Chain A
Amino acid sequence: MQKLKKSRKLGTQLSISEPKLVQVVFLNDDFTPMTFVVDVLIRIYKKGYAEAVALMLEVHNNGSSVVGEYPLEIALTKVHKTLSEARSKNYPLQVVIKE
């Protein structure tokens, strides 16, 4: 995805691309409680309650679900936060980044 942007400097054209986005995917497991997943989706991924529940159910039913597209840095941070919270509570929640 590239946008051509006319620079204020006349005559020169800068090609500025939008940031590359990656997908954050939640994977299903049988040990992590649903309430924890919903809570994480609301706090870290800034989802609304209804959307968070729907996403959680999708993970539960389909085995995995894309919960959002983010720039890599954001995605890495969110995944890191999610996993460290899960590990601190001894849940084996799996979250991966897909390009």
Chain B
Amino acid sequence: MLKYYNYLLDTVSLMESLFSRDALLLLESAFEEARARKSQYLTSEHILFALTFFSSTRDILQYLGVDLAELREELEHYFQHYIEKSDSEVQKSVVVDDILNNSIKHALAADRKAVLPEDLLMALFSKPETYAVQLLNEFGVSRLALAEAITLKQQGRLFISNTQESSHNKETLSQVALNLTEMARKNQLEKIVGREAEIKELITILGRKRKSNPLILGEPGVGKTALVYGLCQKIVSEEVPENLKNAEIFALDISSLLSGTRYRGDFEERLRLVIDELLSLENPIVFIDEIHSIVGAGATVGDSVDAALILKPYIGSGRLKVIGATTFEDFKRHLERDRAFLRRFSVIELKEPEDSVVLEILKSTAKEFEEYHQVRIPITSVKKALELSKKYLPDKRLPDKAIEVLDHACSLTKLRNQDLTKQDSSKRSEIQIVSAESLAQAISDLTKIPFEDTSTSTKTRLTKLKQNIKNKLFGQDTAVELVTNSILRRMTGVRLGNKKPLGSFLFAGPTGVGKTELAKLLAKFLGARFIRFDMSEFMEKHSVSKLVGAPPGYVGHEEGGQLVNLVRQNAFNVILFDEIEKAHEDIYMILLQILDGACLTDSHGRKADFSESIIILTTNLGSQSSSSIGFGDNQEQKSRLQAIEAFFKPEFRNRLDAIVLFKPLEPPLIDLISQKFLSELADALKQRGFQLLWDDEVVRHISTKGFDPKMGARPIARFVEQVIGDKIADWILKNSPRFKKLRLALKDGQIVVEQAELCPC
């Protein structure tokens, strides 16, 4: 390899060890460059040329802001025009001899044993009259700057940004765009089924002379990108007219075009480079997904130069064909503003495909899923996926939602299979079938709605609902029956007529009898999310905006409404509007809408679907007047109903499933309630390792002390927590950790805490 090695050593008369291996290789390649160009002499320019390639010196030059490609071009120009050709052996110029000598001197002076490539670069400056130095100066490299950079390099503090070289090399296009036709050729694109008519329209528009830029509009998930994939596949299989046969479609990624552009002008430069590169191709078509993002992309404050503006002339003149894709919403919000840009496009509206088409698409996707997930998908499951996704995912679009459901179900099935094989390895080889159950489970996962036909756990949950609630809520059996029956009826699918919430009830009754408690228990045992709105916070007219979002122009518009946001996130809720009579009248209007159409639109126009939610309103209207426990039942109920009828308008009452009257609490029940609260306290203590015992005497004491007929059960809770809780805390502080068992007892009309073992019982 080192052909000139001896020659070098002879002529400069050096010892071998004076040049590092890198430096020798560098000189070697400089010689080769000179020879390849048949140059008469090896000059300092040849050395500089070689230096631009060696990693250490290249980094230094780049750090100093030298455009390496440019520098090499200039040197090439010099070699061509100023150095005479010769067939004889390349000879070193006298200047090169001096440079080599100086590099050695420099290295020795720096106490280094061998010359590094950096030393050669530095030594170039010892002959300032050479063209190499002249060029370096013109590229902004001074002797001092170079010395600084070399020092930084030796200290390991030389950092160069990668973008500098990348923005100049020719690979910009491949960095910011995917060649879709190439991918189609390699079979990397998903297979596209159906959509023949739309693809034909796409081809027709692309075939026009002017304005040959299609803009595909459609809801998310209807297959806008897939349409372009379909076109690519058609191009590859040559099912397109002559003018598209050699077309190359590039998917331009605006974000990677933007990323790393730090300074004013970087973005424009990159985009220009990409456009230049595209225009150098034979028949380029650019596909820009989410094309609304290029309006405003790269623009700075007070400057309206954006990607759209730069692209405009190319698109308008038909030099560059662009396929855009965006949703209706973004189209309205961003694109319609820029009419000059829009004028150059022809819109293709992409609607949700027909069911039969979706089925075809699904069948083809199912094949891919079968291979990917190693499952079997029967045709009935494919149909079921379509059916379920249509029913339960109304705010998403076909075919995307059906594919999502199918994919999720496949994944679930595979997971279940893995669990099984873990238990029993003999089942490994069996290929699992994606069943209707796993599809239902997938829907359930995606919507958070528990399913009538999902897993057995929800089934048992529903059957036990009534009993579970009765165990926790005392004395309101009629109310519980009414509510649970109604909900269970709806949940098993027995529904009449138009869309309504899963349940809507007005709970009426005095305070503390368990209205809110019932709502909470419902949520707990149904597995729904519990959302509570305290209507005392909704007394003013403007508070409606808390639910549905502030109108445009008002503070908080961007956040949207609490209620709509919550229900959109999670379809299965128990929504409690506490003390509804306190709310402002306008809130009723909103509620009317929810109760009747099970639908609420916020100030952004987003819809929330309440058809899987349970709406519960509570009130204590008409209860204030009633005083004693055990008042004549019928008469009391009548007076309360009258009060409710007088307060709520008929159209409001009419829309409720039922008005549920809660009875005031009766003494035997009150003992039960006291018992319940004590158990809760005991549960809390158990977690800390304490055991709490008590007898009936204590319970009766709590009932008499804590119960207030006007206030219901709440004071009992307060009594248990504050009075008894305090005493227990006291006792624990004094006696812990010796004794872990404690007991409540009644002494002289006072509850005391004792250690349990001391007691004979």
List residues of chain A with CB under 8 Å of any chain B CB: 7-11, 14-17, 19-20, 46, 70-74, 76-77, 80-81
Residue of B nearest to A80 (CB): B94
Q: Which of B129, B138, B268 is the one whose CB lies under 8 Å from A15?
A: B138
Main secondary structure of the interface of A (DSSP, over half): mixed
- The answer to whether B269 touches A77 (Cβ under 8 A) is no
Residue of A nearest to B139 (CB): A14
A-B contact pairs, 12 of them (CB 8 A): A8-B67, A9-B167, A10-B269, A11-B269, A15-B138, A16-B135, A16-B138, A72-B130, A73-B93, A74-B41, A76-B93, A80-B94
Report B421-449 CB contacts with A as 1/0, cut-off 8 Å.
Answer: 00000000000000000000000000000
Segment of B80-88, B112-120, B331-339, B630-638 in the binding face: B80-88
- The answer to whether A14 touches B93 (Cβ under 8 A) is no
| Bound complex: CA A76 to CA B93 (Å) | 8
Q: Does B311 contact A (CB under 8 A)?
A: no
- The answer to whether A9 touches B168 (Cβ under 8 A) is yes
Given contacts A8-B70, A9-B67, A10-B268, contact A73 B44 (CB under 8 A): yes
Q: Which of A7, A11, A15, A17 is the one whose CB lies under 8 Å from B70?
A: A7
Q: Which of B69, B70, B94, B131 is the one whose CB lies under 8 Å from A77?
A: B94
Measured between beta carbons, the chain A residues less than 8 angstroms from B167 are 9
Apart from A73-B129, A73-B130, A74-B40, what are 15 other A-B pairs with CB-CB below 8 Å? A7-B67, A8-B168, A9-B70, A9-B269, A15-B138, A16-B135, A16-B138, A19-B131, A20-B129, A20-B131, A71-B78, A71-B130, A73-B127, A74-B84, A81-B91
| B window 15-50: CB within 8 A of A | 40-41, 43-45
- The answer to whether B43 touches A74 (Cβ under 8 A) is yes
Nearest CB of chain B from residue A79's CB, rounded to whole Å: 9
Measured between beta carbons, the chain B residues less than 8 angstroms from A71 are 78, 82, 130-131
| Bound complex: CA A6 to CA B264 (Å) | 19
Interface centre among A7, A14, A15, A74 (most CB of B within 10 A): A74
- The answer to whether A73 touches B138 (Cβ under 8 A) is no
Measured between beta carbons, the chain B residues less than 8 angstroms from A70 are 82
- The answer to whether B86 touches A46 (Cβ under 8 A) is yes
- The answer to whether B84 touches A17 (Cβ under 8 A) is no
| Bound complex: CA A9 to CA B73 (Å) | 14
Given contacts A10-B265, A80-B94, contact A17 B134 (CB under 8 A): yes
| B window 266-289: CB within 8 A of A | 268-269, 272
Residue of B nearest to A22 (CB): B129
Nearest CB of chain B from residue A70's CB, rounded to whole Å: 7
- The answer to whether A74 touches B93 (Cβ under 8 A) is yes
Q: Does B757 contact A (CB under 8 A)?
A: no
| B window 44-94: CB within 8 A of A | 44-45, 67, 69-70, 74, 78, 82-86, 91, 93-94
Measured between beta carbons, the chain A residues less than 8 angstroms from B43 are 73-74, 77
Given contacts A73-B130, A77-B94, contact A19 B138 (CB under 8 A): no
Nearest CB of chain A from residue B332's CB, rounded to whole Å: 35
Q: Does B95 contact A (CB under 8 A)?
A: yes
Given contacts A9-B168, A46-B86, contact A20 B134 (CB under 8 A): yes
Measured between beta carbons, the chain A residues less than 8 angstroms from B93 are 73-74, 76-77
Nearest CB of chain B from residue A97's CB, rounded to whole Å: 11
| Bound complex: CA A81 to CA B95 (Å) | 12
Measured between beta carbons, the chain A residues less than 8 angstroms from B135 are 16
Nearest CB of chain A from residue B24's CB, rounded to whole Å: 22
Residue of B nearest to A76 (CB): B94
| Bound complex: CA A73 to CA B44 (Å) | 8
Q: Which of B82, B85, B269 is the one whose CB lies under 8 Å from A74?
A: B82
| B window 693-713: CB within 8 A of A | none
Q: Which of A7, A8, A14, A72 is the one whose CB lies under 8 Å from B129?
A: A72
| Bound complex: CA A47 to CA B461 (Å) | 105
Residue of A nearest to B167 (CB): A9
Measured between beta carbons, the chain A residues less than 8 angstroms from B78 are 19, 71
Measured between beta carbons, the chain A residues less than 8 angstroms from B268 are 10
Nearest CB of chain B from residue A81's CB, rounded to whole Å: 8
Measured between beta carbons, the chain A residues less than 8 angstroms from B41 are 74, 77
| Bound complex: CA A9 to CA B134 (Å) | 21
- The answer to whether A19 touches B82 (Cβ under 8 A) is yes
Nearest CB of chain B from residue A94's CB, rounded to whole Å: 18
Residue of B nearest to A84 (CB): B94
Nearest CB of chain A from residue B152's CB, rounded to whole Å: 23
- The answer to whether B134 touches A19 (Cβ under 8 A) is yes
Measured between beta carbons, the chain B residues less than 8 angstroms from A10 are 265, 268-269, 272
Given contacts A8-B70, A9-B168, A11-B269, contact A76 B95 (CB under 8 A): yes
| Bound complex: CA A77 to CA B134 (Å) | 18
Measured between beta carbons, the chain B residues less than 8 angstroms from A16 are 74, 135, 138
Measured between beta carbons, the chain A residues less than 8 angstroms from B83 are 74
Residue of B nearest to A7 (CB): B70
Interface centre among A7, A73, A77 (most CB of B within 10 A): A73
| Bound complex: CA A73 to CA B92 (Å) | 11
Measured between beta carbons, the chain B residues less than 8 angstroms from A14 are 67, 70, 138-139
